[in-house]
Structure 1
Amino acid sequence: MEIFLYIASFLLIRRLLSSTKFTPLGPKWKLVLNTASVGVWVVYVVASDQFEDTYDLFLGAFVLLGIVYYFLNQEDFKPMHSFIKVHYPLAAITIVVALIDLIAPKFGGRYNNWTGTAILLGFAWIFARWANSRKQEQEMRMVSMQNLELDRLVAERTAELTNQRNELQDALQQLKTTQQQLIQSEKLASLGELTAGIAHEIQNPLNFVNNFSDVSMELIDEMAEELTKGDTEEAIAIATDIKQNLEKIRHHGKRADGIVKGMLQHSRASSNTKEATNVNTLADEYLRLAYHGLRAKDKSFNSELVTNFAPTLPLVNIVPQDVGRVLLNLFNNAFYAVQQKQKLGLEGFKPIVELTTGVSHSGGHSSIIITVKDNGTGIPEDIKDKILQPFFTTKPTGEGTGLGLSLSYDIIVKAHGGTIDIDSKEGKWTKFTITLPIETKQQ
């Protein structure tokens, strides 16, 4: 019967060796298990020649128990512990049978068939569990293959998502670059409008300077002739005219100098520092600059400019060049709207752009109110909520970037804590109302 113990030991070792296909343990364990499987049969051959049957049973049982005990204490074989433990019953039955043969040989001989059957049942139990383990092994193989397939699919999906993420990042970067280019284009467009207005504003006083200079030159020649004739009274009258011309030249020269200095003041955009600013003066300058900028492009265009300035308007802390850019944009849009309506040839239509300033007191806070109103084409109701969105424009392609009002919203609302309200009636009028909070200093 001891043969069953060695067969059980051998099959246990081979089963552990086959398990390494699914749980790689390295060459060390393969060597140990192969050596142990050979060693089991060496022990069996030697023991069968040297010991009696009873001692062979003891030795076979202890060999099996030693193998079971050793591998139960190895963490690498933890998944196989349940299968290893099923060998305990066979070893226990064998030891009991051997003890009976050793202590009471007559009793063992009388029930030899029963003890042999018990050992066979212990071996059969191991064989049944081994068959079940093989089935589980096949299931594990299928699960392993499924896991490998899932890993492959996950890797493919991960790679696909990574590529999509990279593509989205590239698209986002391109969008940011395009946005910056469009913002720069919008600023350049505003600069073009501003430059045209400045050129027209400066041209007027320069024309006066040139004209009065020419007239004064002629008067000097006439005064020299009168002095040659000895007509001092006429010479003095001419000198008086020359003096008046020089005063006009000085007046218009200062006017041109003031325009240049004012624009230099407004062009200092790098610091973004808020300054106490007279909104009436700022709005009036940009209204005229916007009007003359459009007139420089279209000499046939004329519009009535109506200004209603609050006489006691307090200074407000703002970034003048930024708010000036907002006003310039609103004025340009207003003149564009009345110009488009004028092109419709409506009888009796007269373009009017109206600028109003005032002060509002509400809830213990004071604000400057700037209203820009025109009697142009108006804004359709269905797009009124969209015109402050970036890149949305009602102008034809090439005439607008769709960023003017969006940048204006950022400057007034985000940078200055104010508001922009829009009211319009399609085909009749449009009114933009800017609210700028008056910052008060703590005493």
Structure 2
Amino acid sequence: MGTSYFLIVLFFVQYIRKTLGTKETHPHWDQILIYSRFTAIFLMCGPWVFDYDAAFGWFWHIFMLAFVGVIYTRYEFKSVRSLMMSVIPLIVIGVLGDVTSLVSKSFYDNYNEYFDMFKVFAIIWVVAMWYQNRRQQKQLAAERLQRLEEEKQNQLMQARKAELEVLVAERTNEITRQKEELVIALDHLKTTQGQLVQSEKMASLGELTAGIAHEIQNPLNFVNNFAEVNTELIQELKEEQEKGDPDHELVEEILRDLADNMEKMVYHGKRADSIVKGMLMHSRTGTGEKESVDVNALADEYMRLAYHGLRAKDKSFNATLEKDFDPEVIVARVMPQDFGRVLLNIFNNAFYAVSQRARQEGEEYRPTVWLSSKLENGTVEIRIKDNGTGIPDEVRAKIFEPFYTTKPTGQGTGLGLSLSYDIIHNGHGGRLEVESEQGSHTLFIVRIPVN
């Protein structure tokens, strides 16, 4: 048993001194460990010198208990406590063996081999615990190195952070200055944008006004003509009544003509009134609220207004208007002013395209603009097609961009289709698409949900 104790003490002293570095960290305990090693050597050699094997066996037990107890209780050696505890089973077995030998030598001799087996298991347990402790120490060492490396990295990061804070402060000042400049530029841009949009609306209003002036002339002519006829009929009625014996059949006929003419005057008066209301609705700023509108009637109205607007500028211009509306009345919730601007802009472009082609090809060409509507799956689809000059492929990709126009200077701002695209997509949740073939036709498709 003394040999096992001796080897354990020598090995543990060396292991503890090396693992914990007691020579540098705890010199006092390092000296005690060295003395413990000398004590173990003395106890190992004592039986050979003094010939007291039994007494030295008990000295060994006391020494091992003191050795384990001191190291286990000291805070400085807390990392090897589990290693010290692994020796306790070996000490307990040794003490039990010696006590049994003293009390009953015959019993000890009969079961000595079991005590030896338990000692072997205890020693294996010590070795296993030492191996486990060694792994833990390596893991702790690795963790310490990792922490040192992390601390080093943290120091580098702190230094870098300080540099970055200086750079960020400088950059922030620069960005603040640039922001102030951009705010000023944005204010100017918004002012300019508002002026351009207003200019586009006024241009659209001017075209609409020209169409309305031409369109309203027809019902006014009817009203004036019927008013003159009624004046003549009233004069004839007075003359007939002044006769002593009036012709009652003639009087009734005159009265019927007067009633018919008045109905026609009322009809054409309401027609003129609706045109004026449409002009006022188009000219005023929209409230952004949607209203239920007869889409077919609205599209038909703006098609004629756009046509007569161009005719007001060019008396020689004529075109065929083809309409194919859905047989059912299509009522959709739209913003009338904005939606009307979209239709008017597309019709103006269509009539402009056919007028340009008419100038190029002469009398053999027949300018035509088609308007059709269809209601399908809760979506209104309006198609506006012309057989004008068409749009080249490279131009078609840009026509919805702000300020892009193919018209000569002074005839277009380049905002019409851009605003139309925004009104349909953002204002009505719909789609505005274009299909075209140069020299053949152009088709605009407007799709909006009914509700």
Whether these two folds match at TM > 0.5 is yes
In structure 2, the CA distance between the partners of 1:165 and 1:280, relative to structure 1 (3 Å rule), is same
Matched letter for residue 217 of structure 1: T
Number of residue pairs the alignment of both structures matches: 282
After TM superposition, give the deviation of residue 250 of structure 1 in Å.
1.9
Does structure 1 retain, via aligned residues, the 8 Å contact 2:286–2:335?
Answer: no
After TM superposition, give the deviation of residue 235 of structure 1 in Å.
4.1
Matched letter for residue 424 of structure 1: S
After TM superposition, give the deviation of residue 168 of structure 1 in Å.
5.2
After TM superposition, give the deviation of residue 179 of structure 1 in Å.
1.9
Match of 2:309 among 287, 293, 310: 293
Deviations 1:77-101 (A, max 9, x none): xxxxxxxxxxxxxxxxxxxxxxxxx
Does structure 2 retain, via aligned residues, the 8 Å contact 1:392–1:402?
Answer: yes
Aligned-pair RMSD on alpha carbons? 2.7
After TM superposition, give the deviation of residue 291 of structure 1 in Å.
1.3
* Higher mean displacement: 184-193 or 346-355: 346-355
Does structure 1 retain, via aligned residues, the 8 Å contact 2:209–2:279?
Answer: no
Deviations 1:210-262 (A, max 9, x none): 11111221222233334445451444433333332222212212222333344
1:21-60 matches, within 5 Å, as none
Matched letter for residue 218 of structure 1: E
Alpha-carbon separation, structure 2, partners of 1:267 and 1:180? 16
Which residue of 2 is the match for residue 434 of structure 1? Answer: 446
Which residue of 2 is the match for residue 174 of structure 1? Answer: 188
Matched letter for residue 434 of structure 2: I
Kindly, what percent of the aligned residue pairs are identical?
Answer: 57
Matched letter for residue 205 of structure 1: P
In structure 2, the CA distance between the partners of 1:164 and 1:275, relative to structure 1 (3 Å rule), is closer
Does structure 2 retain, via aligned residues, the 8 Å contact 1:313–1:359?
Answer: no
Alpha-carbon separation, structure 1, partners of 2:283 and 2:196? 20
Which residue of 1 is the match for residue 222 of structure 2? Answer: 208
1:253-272 matches, within 5 Å, as 253-264=269-280, 269-272=285-288
* Higher mean displacement: 221-230 or 308-317: 221-230
1:268-287 matches, within 5 Å, as 269-287=285-303
After TM superposition, give the deviation of residue 266 of structure 1 in Å.
5.4
Does structure 2 retain, via aligned residues, the 8 Å contact 1:276–1:316?
Answer: yes
Does residue 262 of structure 2 align to residue 221 of structure 1? Answer: no
Match of 1:372 among 373, 384, 387: 384
- DSSP 3-state at the match of 1:212: helix
Alpha-carbon separation, structure 2, partners of 1:412 and 1:372? 15
Which residue of 2 is the match for residue 249 of structure 1? Answer: 265
Does residue 315 of structure 2 align to residue 323 of structure 1? Answer: no
Gaps of 5+ in 2: 1-165
Alpha-carbon separation, structure 1, partners of 2:283 and 2:409? 29
Alpha-carbon separation, structure 1, partners of 2:216 and 2:362? 34
1:20-419 matches, within 5 Å, as 169-229=183-243, 230-232=245-247, 233-264=249-280, 269-361=285-377, 366-419=378-431
After TM superposition, give the deviation of residue 360 of structure 1 in Å.
3.0
After TM superposition, give the deviation of residue 159 of structure 1 in Å.
9.6
Alpha-carbon separation, structure 2, partners of 1:263 and 1:160? 51
Give TM-score scaled by structure 1 length: 0.58
Gaps of 5+ in 1: 1-150
In structure 2, the CA distance between the partners of 1:296 and 1:167, relative to structure 1 (3 Å rule), is same
Matched letter for residue 262 of structure 2: L
Alpha-carbon separation, structure 2, partners of 1:271 and 1:418? 19
Alpha-carbon separation, structure 2, partners of 1:382 and 1:346? 27
Matched letter for residue 346 of structure 1: G
Alpha-carbon separation, structure 2, partners of 1:276 and 1:184? 26
> Which is helix-richer, 1 or 2?
2
Alpha-carbon separation, structure 2, partners of 1:327 and 1:359? 17
* Higher mean displacement: 225-234 or 297-306: 225-234
Does structure 2 retain, via aligned residues, the 8 Å contact 1:416–1:436?
Answer: yes
Matched letter for residue 413 of structure 1: H
* Higher mean displacement: 335-344 or 245-254: 245-254
Does structure 1 retain, via aligned residues, the 8 Å contact 2:286–2:337?
Answer: no
After TM superposition, give the deviation of residue 263 of structure 1 in Å.
4.5
Matched letter for residue 390 of structure 1: P
In structure 2, the CA distance between the partners of 1:261 and 1:179, relative to structure 1 (3 Å rule), is closer
Deviations 1:141-196 (A, max 9, x none): xxxxxxxxxx9xx99x9999887766655444433322221111000011111222
Alpha-carbon separation, structure 2, partners of 1:267 and 1:310? 29
Does structure 2 retain, via aligned residues, the 8 Å contact 1:393–1:400?
Answer: yes
Alpha-carbon separation, structure 2, partners of 1:172 and 1:162? 15
Does structure 1 retain, via aligned residues, the 8 Å contact 2:290–2:334?
Answer: yes
In structure 2, the CA distance between the partners of 1:244 and 1:359, relative to structure 1 (3 Å rule), is closer
